[in-house]
Structure 1
Amino acid sequence: MTITSPLPRRSVLRALTVAAALGGAAPASGYVSGSAAFAAEPETYTLTIRHLDRDGRVPTHYRTSVTGISGPGAGRSEQPHDASGTASVRLPGGRYLLESSLWTDRVADGTDWIVQPRLDLDRDTTVTVDARTTAPVDVTPPDGPAAFLNSGMFIEVTHGGATRMASIVKATPTLRTAHLGPEAEAGSVKQWYDSYWTTRAGGYALGRTFSGTRALTGLTHHYTAGELATLELRAVARPDAGGAGAGSGAGTGAVAGTAGIDLAPTVGPAAGPSVGASWSLPVPGTATLFVTPLRGTWDVVYTAPAAPGTRPNRYFADGIAVRAGATTTHTFDGPVVGPALTGRAGVERDGDTLTADLPLLADGDGHVPTAPSFDTAWAGLYRDGALLHARSGGLDRATFTVPPGPASYRLAATVARRAATGATTRVNASWTFRSATTAGPVPVPVSVVRFSPGLGPAGTAPAGIPLRVPVTVQGAAADGRVRALTVSMSADGGRSWTVLPVHEGAVTVPNPAAGTAVSLRAELTDTDGNTLDQTLVDAYRTG
């Protein structure tokens, strides 16, 4: 398949699920007023492509694409085919990318993929696509019994300021590749290969990139354990609405990468386009994946089990950096659930419009659910002490129109959901700040406090043992802009509170008896006088 136009990354990935025939418009012609001559049509040439299988005969099956990179044929794509194995097409002159796949009716024979990254069409030209020139792609993990899942090879060719791509996706490890034609300009050819393997405990995601003047003729790399990084993905049993099992306390989730195709659960590299692969994840449980750091960062999506008739929550973890020999852990759908500001301002003012994008139910690692479950939610905006706006629902994509000029504001929100083991049953948050009319989008100074206790697989903490709980400030008060911070805990659902000293970025919680919910509260003032009052009722439980 050839991709001929730049698209948003996820759109490109979805495009990989079908073989798209991308056509080009016919060349335009015109008449020059006052002249006897028409505008010159682009010169065209006949491109003839001969196809030979591994025995030098007409292949059983083949598919060839020719896509214009630059010149009059830029953007035009053709798929010439003839049962004789020799196909012709007439095209305007210019630089083209040619790629061809040849295969038989026997799966074990695999596929030959031949790419000519530089095809300069300036005369009638004949090209021979010969499967006898290919070499095997032999990429394997260090674990011999690991089972192959799928793979994808991609090539990107740049010329004249334009880029075109081609790819092949395989469900069997039987791919052979070859370069065809002259070398392209230095660095104009980029190619990458990703393959995925499964084991009882998880699997392997093996990726590698190349840059140069030629397409790959075969690829051999047998990975060692020392070349790989460990990506540990954990799912917490949280039997609340929208959480694991929704009352069952267990289930099976799925880990998925945004490099995957549409809604398929996969893990994949952040740099794409690419393909991904699927792994199931027991809840509670852990999937251990070994990935190649040289492929760059990795994207993961976790889909939590859901109650019948409800939408499952998906949690995105994008751009995960890994290092050979090191372990990176992401825990999904677990406590302490609360507001999060990772990668976002939270609240912005544009002219006299306030827009909030402030998730109140991010999981313990800060992953934001796509379908947060709650029973009731309310948000209100006060201006100089008077209620200006009230709305049902949280602060995801909430918009408020405010009067012009400066004023003091308070933004308050509460979310409540059914009590359940390990669930945050209520989140209350209130922010105060001053704001005035702006000439464009300007962040409003809001902050949140995140609590990160080390909890067990079920999201609980040992009863009767003091627990160190790291405290992190996100938003306007981060990076040393805290004037005052008070943290308190409650073991009776928030009826009474005990202040906990904050020392070296953490508090120590005297965990109560087994089966007790611990609630946490943070009261913060930043160096400019903006405040936060945040309460998490049933932040976690003891077990």
Structure 2
Amino acid sequence: MPTGLVRHFADRELASVRSEHSSTGTGQTGTRDSMVTAALPFTLQEYYSPDTPWESSFDQSTGEEYESSTRSVPKTYRRGQPVVERWNSGVFGPSFPRYPGEPAKWASRLGDTAAFDLWLLSDRGEGHYGQAANAESGTTALYRDGRPIAGYPWSGRSEFTLPPEEAAYRLHTESTRNGPMDLSTTVSADWTFRSGHVAGPGAGPLPLTAVRFAPALDDRNQASGGAGFLVPVYLQHTGGQAAVTEPVVQVSYDDGTTWRPAPLLPAGDHWLARLWHPAVGGFVSFKATAADRNGNTVDQTIIRAYRLK
């Protein structure tokens, strides 16, 4: 047998990642990369071979119930540059992270086939995309010039056959779950865009936008009530968008029964939504709309985005 097949590394020769895993309730467990399972919240100190793409995963369960699944796009870590990565931290909502080498991964058209891969429960972690495993109901439907083309009784991956002529489209998707510890119990989104035949050879991206919320929550996805609070708001694109104007954000403290404007403050490449949390606890919900200069729009709602304590 050949020799020299075993190599020994010191920590300093590897890339260091501290992974923090939040919970959304009590009695939950989390599993990382199908190898480590522990009660939530928990923290891992990880070491990776540097300068190599890595894909990671996280799954949350309560008892025997499998609740949600989160994945990460391939990431490369560098030696000597420690990273802190957060998993399962809200707000959970639609996301379109950049996937290396696949600019049309989430929404595409090739010829007269449109394909969508929609992940409606993505945590706030960079490059993460996620979905509910315990959704009670869901739907995905596509409309052309206001008329329905087809629909599916789930949220997630779907394909539609379209006429070759350019037209205006509206894509609607929604997911609902009602577990006692669930967050983002109802997530819905409507996108409008124009599209025509794509000759190829490769698929072209369809111009969808996701409005993302990244508040500083504790490791149980809570924020303090009775206080002012700033929520970072940013946009993710599937590709092909023109410049997007400032989004419009609304907030609700009664699960969407009433809404009020959330003023935005510019903060470089994103905005800060100014909120004032009520002192009675409960949940915070968000509505957001945005449009680019070509008229492509998004209108999304997230009910019970996070808890107030």
| TM-score normalised over the length of structure 1 | 0.50
Q: Which amino acid aligns with 2:300?
A: Q
Give the secondary-structure state (helix, strand or coil) at the position aligned to 1:335. coil
Alignment correspondent of 1:368: 129
Alignment correspondent of 1:114: 3
CA deviation profile, 1:280-308 (whole Å, cap 9, x unmatched): 4430121223x266464544332323442
Task: Report the Cα distance in structure 1 between the residues aligned to 2:230 and 2:215, rounded to whole angstroms.
Answer: 7
Task: Report the Cα distance in structure 1 between the residues aligned to 2:108 and 2:11, rounded to whole angstroms.
Answer: 47
Alignment correspondent of 2:57: 301
Pair 1:477–1:538, CA change in 2 (3 A): farther
Alignment correspondent of 2:297: 531
Find the partner of 1:501 among 252, 263, 273.
263
Pair 1:313–1:494, CA change in 2 (3 A): closer
Q: Is the 8 A contact 2:111 2:199 kept in 1?
A: yes
Q: Is the 8 A contact 1:361 1:372 kept in 2?
A: no
Q: Is the 8 A contact 1:462 1:514 kept in 2?
A: no
Task: Report the Cα distance in structure 2 between the residues aligned to 1:296 and 1:450, rounded to whole angstroms.
Answer: 28
Find the partner of 1:456 among 214, 218, 221.
218
CA deviation profile, 1:5-30 (whole Å, cap 9, x unmatched): xxxxxxxxxxxxxxxxxxxxxxxxxx
Aligned residues: 297
CA deviation profile, 1:319-349 (whole Å, cap 9, x unmatched): 4343455442222223211111112643212
Bigger radius of gyration among the two:
1
Q: Which amino acid aligns with 1:316?
A: R
CA deviation profile, 1:247-298 (whole Å, cap 9, x unmatched): xx23432322xxxxxxx51xxxxxxxxxxxxx44430121223x26646454
Alignment correspondent of 1:424: 184
Pair 1:436–1:228, CA change in 2 (3 A): closer
Pair 1:445–1:298, CA change in 2 (3 A): closer
Task: Report the Cα distance in structure 2 between the residues aligned to 1:478 and 1:459, rounded to whole angstroms.
Answer: 33
CA drift at 1:353: 1.5
Task: Report the Cα distance in structure 1 between the residues aligned to 2:30 and 2:141, rounded to whole angstroms.
Answer: 35
Find the partner of 2:140 among 370, 379, 394.
379
Find the partner of 1:483 among 214, 226, 245.
245
Pair 1:476–1:368, CA change in 2 (3 A): closer
Q: Is the 8 A contact 2:29 2:62 kept in 1?
A: no
Give the secondary-structure state (helix, strand or coil) at the position aligned to 1:513. coil
Pair 1:408–1:229, CA change in 2 (3 A): same
Pair 1:541–1:533, CA change in 2 (3 A): same
Task: Report the Cα distance in structure 1 between the residues aligned to 2:11 and 2:235, rounded to whole angstroms.
Answer: 41
CA drift at 1:514: 4.6
Task: Report the Cα distance in structure 2 between the residues aligned to 1:425 and 1:456, rounded to whole angstroms.
Answer: 19
Pair 1:472–1:516, CA change in 2 (3 A): same
Give the secondary-structure state (helix, strand or coil) at the position aligned to 1:431. strand
Pair 1:378–1:325, CA change in 2 (3 A): same
Structural RMSD (CA):
2.6
Pair 1:533–1:287, CA change in 2 (3 A): same
Find the partner of 1:466 among 228, 244, 259.
228
Q: Which amino acid aligns with 1:483?
A: T
Identity of aligned residues (%): 29
CA drift at 1:496: 1.7
Task: Report the Cα distance in structure 2 between the residues aligned to 1:412 and 1:233, rounded to whole angstroms.
Answer: 34
Alignment correspondent of 2:172: 412
Q: Is the 8 A contact 2:27 2:62 kept in 1?
A: no
Pair 1:477–1:509, CA change in 2 (3 A): farther
CA drift at 1:378: 1.0
Give the secondary-structure state (helix, strand or coil) at the position aligned to 1:356. strand
Find the partner of 1:400 among 152, 160, 166.
160
Give the secondary-structure state (helix, strand or coil) at the position aligned to 2:257. coil
Q: Is the 8 A contact 2:208 2:241 kept in 1?
A: no
Task: Report the Cα distance in structure 2 between the residues aligned to 1:424 and 1:448, rounded to whole angstroms.
Answer: 15
Q: Is the 8 A contact 1:281 1:287 kept in 2?
A: no
Task: Report the Cα distance in structure 2 between the residues aligned to 1:298 and 1:514, rounded to whole angstroms.
Answer: 43
Alignment correspondent of 1:334: 89
Give the secondary-structure state (helix, strand or coil) at the position aligned to 1:305. strand
Q: Is the 8 A contact 1:428 1:534 kept in 2?
A: yes
CA drift at 1:470: 1.1
Pair 1:532–1:251, CA change in 2 (3 A): closer
Pair 1:533–1:370, CA change in 2 (3 A): closer
Q: Residues 19-34 of structure 1: matches in 2 within 5 Å?
A: none
Q: Which amino acid aligns with 1:450?
A: R
Find the partner of 2:288 among 499, 509, 522.
522
Q: Is the 8 A contact 1:237 1:250 kept in 2?
A: no
Alignment correspondent of 1:255: 32
Give the secondary-structure state (helix, strand or coil) at the position aligned to 1:463. coil
Q: Is the 8 A contact 2:205 2:240 kept in 1?
A: no
CA deviation profile, 1:344-378 (whole Å, cap 9, x unmatched): 64321222221111211212325334663211101
Pair 1:479–1:526, CA change in 2 (3 A): closer
Q: Is the 8 A contact 1:494 1:519 kept in 2?
A: yes
CA drift at 1:237: 1.6
